[in-house]
Amino acid sequence: MTTPAARVLVADDDRAVRTALQVNLTKAGYHVTLVSSAEQALEALRSSPFDVLLTDVKMPGMGGMELLGEARTHWPDVRVVVMTGFGSVRDAVNAMKAGAADYIIKPIERDELLLLLDRALQTRAMQRELQQLRKEVEQRYGFSEMIGISPRMRDVYEEVTAVADSSAIVLIQGETGTGKELIAHAIHYRSRRASAPLVAVNCGALPENLLESELFGHERGAFTGAVRQHQGKFEQADGGTLFLDEIGEIPPAVQVRLLRVLEGGIVTRVGGEHTVKVDVRVIAATNRDLWKEVQSGGFRADLYYRLNVFAIRLPRLADRRDDIPLLVEHFAKKFAVRHQRPAPTVSSQAMKALQGHDWPGNVRELEHFMERLVLLSNGGEINSVRLPESPSLPSHGAGTTAGLSAVGPGGLGVALEDYERTLIAEALREAGGVQARAARRLGISRSNLNYRIGRLGLTLQDIRFGVEGRQSR
């Protein structure tokens, strides 16, 4: 199906080719402009808008590759399709690497050309739609780094707008990789405290004694190594916002002290007697179900109610698949700039595959995937993608039956524990035994990792030689 009145600029020094293309494309409903050189093509592009540039590679004077480069630089919205001779496939490959939307080999088959142009125009229309949607998001909500126009994300934007310019405590809940830190930043920078500090603490990255000192500060001599007085994060954030990430990882003793500060706005440093009055707005975030933690006794109910003044729940990426094209475009441009590469485009077929994937790591996983894709693509259009494999039980075959046969006589629970033990041992080995680094690789807190190491009975030998070596030792 062709796009009515789409404008095609044809650049070819062969009159017979130009004539044949004009006849076939005009019959198909395209508005066609013919030029015989790259220089004339540039003049035409400067004077009129075009949807597609169909250019020969080899022409007298400026060649098709140089024309492609000029078009990509000055008219990035125009889709460039390269025509090349049968023996010049290498030219076509080079053109794709340089950012051509597609190529076609002479002699040109009419049906193949029409299909190719239709595909190029569909991709262009999709890109324009994505740009318009993103513009609407930024104009309406003013969130430059939060990408999404789905109903679930619109709700989040409205909640952020409603709570930002207040002093209410905010609890952000959502799976790892959903963008909790971005939401915290958006709330702070849209508040009256925007000119004051935004101080962040990862509550799951520090052991209990260090976390207490980081949050509340300490006096000189309070413990071994406390050689000078230290202001805690509450004092550092005075007048601004304190972002407590992974709030669910805070140990019980620190929970008690945190509750006192939230209720009274007064901090007592570790090892000190004097109190310090602070004016701090707290935003907390967690990937845990805190209410379940309260019910199991792992989190104080009074602290939960104190934190849960205004809750914002972030959706999984799988629950807002309509936002994936916007995110893909955003990350493609971001990493193209970072790595000084041409930004690739993604075909409708490849985009459907991306939208069909579950993305268990959410937006962060998609972001890392797109960085890899930018590095591998070297510009041009991406027509197929090799999606990341979701974590699963080891299997010796492709089918479900083969996967089930890998579960030993101990049942699924034992198989899961063995797999978890292997993953943790590998992460620790790759991190050189540093638990904080291994925890980041696994996407869990250090305290959570420490708990799992103890529960699974992991030893130094497992880390050094691998879990599979247990039986042979």
CATH 3.30.1330.10 corresponds to the domain 317-382:
no
CATH architecture of 400-469: Orthogonal Bundle (1.10)
What is the pLDDT at residue 270?
A: 85
pLDDT at 338 over 70: yes
What is the pLDDT at residue 405?
A: 37
pLDDT tens-digit series, residues 161-212 = 999 999 999 999 999 999 999 999 999 988 999 889 999 999 988 888 788 8
18 Cβ neighbours under 8 A, 6+ residues apart: 10, 12, 34, 36
What is the pLDDT at residue 411?
A: 44
pLDDT at 472 over 90: no
Query: Can you give the residue ranges of every domain in the chain?
Result: 7-132, 151-313, 317-382, 400-469
Task: Give domain 7-132's CATH number out of 3.90.1580.10, 3.90.1330.10, 1.10.357.140, 3.40.50.2300.
Answer: 3.40.50.2300
Q: The whole model's pTM is what?
A: 0.59
pLDDT tens-digit series, residues 389-445 = 755 444 333 333 333 333 444 444 455 667 677 888 888 887 777 787 787 777 777
pLDDT at 455 over 90: no
> Can you say how many angstroms the Cα of residue 460 is from the centroid of all Cα atoms in its chain?
35
Rounded percentage of the chain residues whose pLDDT exceeds 70: 86
What is the pLDDT at residue 139?
A: 52
Examine residue 107 and say whether the peptide bond preceding it is cis (omega within 30 degrees of 0): yes
CA–CA dist 215, 193 (Å, integer)? 20
What is the pLDDT at residue 395?
A: 39
157 Cβ neighbours under 8 A, 6+ residues apart: 137, 140, 141, 143, 146
- The answer to whether 464 and 422 are in contact (CB under 8 A) is no
- Residue 436 vs residue 139, higher pLDDT: 436
Q: What's the Cα-to-Cα distance from 384 to each of 42, 320, 345, 353, 399, rounded to whole Å?
A: 32, 22, 11, 8, 23
Q: Assess whether the region 151-313 and the region 317-382 belong to the same CATH fold.
A: no
Instruction: State the average pLDDT over residues 58-78.
Output: 91
What is the pLDDT at residue 135?
A: 62
> Can you say how many angstroms the Cα of residue 363 is from the centroid of all Cα atoms in its chain?
4
Helix axes 362-377, 324-338, angle to 10 degrees: 50
Q: What's the Cα-to-Cα distance from 249 to each of 173, 179, 181, 203, 451, rounded to whole Å?
A: 14, 18, 16, 6, 11
Indicate the helix (H) or strand (E) that contains 185: helix 180-189
- Looking at residue 423, its amino acid is L
- Residue 407 vs residue 276, higher pLDDT: 276
Print the SS3 string covering 355-406.
HHCCCCCHHHHHHHHHHHHHHHHCCCEECCCCCCCCCCCCCCCCCHHHHHHC
pLDDT at 260 over 60: yes
First to last CA, the chain: 66
> So what CATH class is 151-313?
alpha beta
What is the pLDDT at residue 137?
A: 54
Q: Of the ranges 78-87, 244-253, 347-356, 460-469, which one carries the lowest mean pLDDT score?
A: 460-469
pLDDT at 136 over 70: no
CA–CA dist 272, 323 (Å, integer)? 50
Q: Phi first, then psi: what are they for 229, rounded to 5°?
A: -65, 145
